[in-house]
A and B are shown apart, each in its own frame.
Chain A
Amino acid sequence: MRNVAIIGVGYTPVFVSKRKDVNIVEMISESVGAALNNTGLTPDDIQAVTYGNMQTFEGVNLPHLWTSDHMRALNKPTIRISTGGTTGMSTLQAAYYYVASGMYDLVMAVTWEKQSEGDSQVGLSGIVVPEAMTMVQHGMDLFSGKGMGFGGGGSTGAASYQAMSYLHHSGASPEHIDKMAALERSNAALNPYAHLRKKTTVEDVQATPMVAFPLRFGHTCPTSDGATTAIVASEEMVNKLTDGNVAWIVGLGSATSDPCTANFLEGQITDPAEQMPAKIASEKAYKMAGIEDPGRELDMCEMYNGFAHQSLMWLEKLGVCKEGEAHKMLDAGALNIEGEMPTNASGGVFSTNAIGASAMNRPTECALQIMRKIEGGHQIPKKIKKALSHGWGGMFQYVTVMVLADEPVSS
Chain B
Amino acid sequence: MAFEMGPETRQVQGMWDISTYRYRMEGGGVRLLTEAMKEKRIKGVRCNECGMVYVPGPTYCRKCFVDIDEVVEVEDRGTVMSYCVELADVRGNPRETPLISAMIELDGADSWFVGAVVGIEPEEASVGMRVKAVWAENPVGSLSDIEYFEVLEE
Binding site for B on A (CB under 8 A): 13-14, 16, 19-23, 59, 122, 126, 129-131, 133-135, 138-154, 157, 160-165, 168, 192, 209-215, 258, 264-269, 271-273, 375
- CB neighbours of B116 from chain A (8 A): 144-146
| Complex Cα–Cα for A288 and B150 (A) | 50
Cross-chain contact of B142 among A59, A139, A157 (Cβ < 8 A): A139
A125 → chain B closest CB, angstroms: 8
B52 adjacent to A269 (CB under 8 Å): yes
Cross-chain contact of B5 among A20, A143, A149, A164 (Cβ < 8 A): A20
The 3 closest A-B pairs by CB, nearest first: A139-B142, A152-B86, A267-B111
A211 adjacent to B88 (CB under 8 Å): yes
Cross-chain contact of B25 among A131, A161, A273 (Cβ < 8 A): A131
Cross-chain contact of A213 among B3, B62, B122 (Cβ < 8 A): B122
Chain B: CB-nearest residue to A59: B16
| Complex Cα–Cα for A268 and B111 (A) | 5
Cross-chain contact of A212 among B52, B85, B142 (Cβ < 8 A): B85
- Also in contact, A214 and B9, with CB within 8 A (given A14-B3, A143-B89, A150-B101): no
A265 adjacent to B56 (CB under 8 Å): yes
| Complex Cα–Cα for A20 and B9 (A) | 6
Q: Mark B82-107, 1 if CB is under 8 A from A, else 0.
A: 11111111101001001101010000
- CB neighbours of B114 from chain A (8 A): 145, 148-150
- CB neighbours of B127 from chain A (8 A): 164-165, 168
- Also in contact, A266 and B62, with CB within 8 A (given A134-B27, A146-B147): yes
B82 adjacent to A168 (CB under 8 Å): yes
Question: Can you list 30 A-B pairs with a CB-CB distance of less than 8 A?
Answer: A21-B6, A21-B8, A21-B9, A122-B18, A126-B18, A129-B21, A135-B143, A138-B34, A138-B143, A139-B143, A140-B144, A142-B89, A145-B116, A145-B148, A146-B147, A146-B148, A161-B82, A161-B83, A161-B103, A163-B84, A165-B81, A165-B127, A168-B82, A265-B58, A266-B54, A266-B56, A266-B57, A267-B55, A272-B82, A273-B82
- CB neighbours of B11 from chain A (8 A): 20
A269 adjacent to B110 (CB under 8 Å): yes
Chain A: CB-nearest residue to B58: A266
SS of A interface (majority): loop
Knowing that A139-B34, A213-B87, A268-B112 are A-B contacts, what are 20 other residue pairs whose CB atoms are under 8 Å apart, sorted by A's residue number?
A21-B5, A21-B6, A129-B23, A146-B115, A147-B143, A151-B89, A161-B83, A168-B128, A209-B87, A211-B88, A212-B86, A212-B88, A213-B84, A213-B85, A265-B27, A265-B29, A267-B29, A268-B111, A273-B82, A375-B1
Chain B: CB-nearest residue to A125: B18
A164 adjacent to B99 (CB under 8 Å): no
A37 → chain B closest CB, angstroms: 14
Cross-chain contact of A266 among B18, B29, B122 (Cβ < 8 A): B29
A153 adjacent to B88 (CB under 8 Å): yes
Question: Is B119 interfacial (CB-CB < 8 Å)?
Answer: no
Chain B CB count within 10 A is highest, among A140, A150, A210, A266, for: A266
- Also in contact, A192 and B6, with CB within 8 A (given A145-B99, A145-B115, A210-B87): no
| Complex Cα–Cα for A148 and B56 (A) | 11
| Complex Cα–Cα for A375 and B3 (A) | 13
Question: Is B30 interfacial (CB-CB < 8 Å)?
Answer: yes
| Complex Cα–Cα for A148 and B81 (A) | 15
Question: Is B131 interfacial (CB-CB < 8 Å)?
Answer: no
| Complex Cα–Cα for A141 and B116 (A) | 11
Give the interface size class of chain B.
35 or more
- CB neighbours of A157 from chain B (8 A): 84, 86, 90, 101
Within B20-50, the residues touching A (CB, 8 Å) are 21, 23, 25-27, 29-31, 34, 44
Q: Mark B137-151, 1 if CB is under 8 A from A, else 0.
A: 000001111111000
B63 → chain A closest CB, angstroms: 8
B3 adjacent to A13 (CB under 8 Å): yes
Chain B: CB-nearest residue to A19: B5
Chain B: CB-nearest residue to A169: B127
B30 adjacent to A161 (CB under 8 Å): no
- CB neighbours of B85 from chain A (8 A): 210, 212-213
| Complex Cα–Cα for A213 and B87 (A) | 8
| Complex Cα–Cα for A209 and B20 (A) | 37
- Also in contact, A267 and B54, with CB within 8 A (given A145-B99, A168-B127): yes
Chain B: CB-nearest residue to A159: B84
| Complex Cα–Cα for A160 and B31 (A) | 29
| Complex Cα–Cα for A164 and B29 (A) | 28
- CB neighbours of A154 from chain B (8 A): 90
Cross-chain contact of A13 among B1, B14, B18, B82 (Cβ < 8 A): B1
Cross-chain contact of B83 among A59, A130, A146, A164 (Cβ < 8 A): A164
Cross-chain contact of A152 among B7, B101, B144 (Cβ < 8 A): B101
B147 → chain A closest CB, angstroms: 6
| Complex Cα–Cα for A126 and B19 (A) | 11
- CB neighbours of A126 from chain B (8 A): 18
| Complex Cα–Cα for A134 and B24 (A) | 9
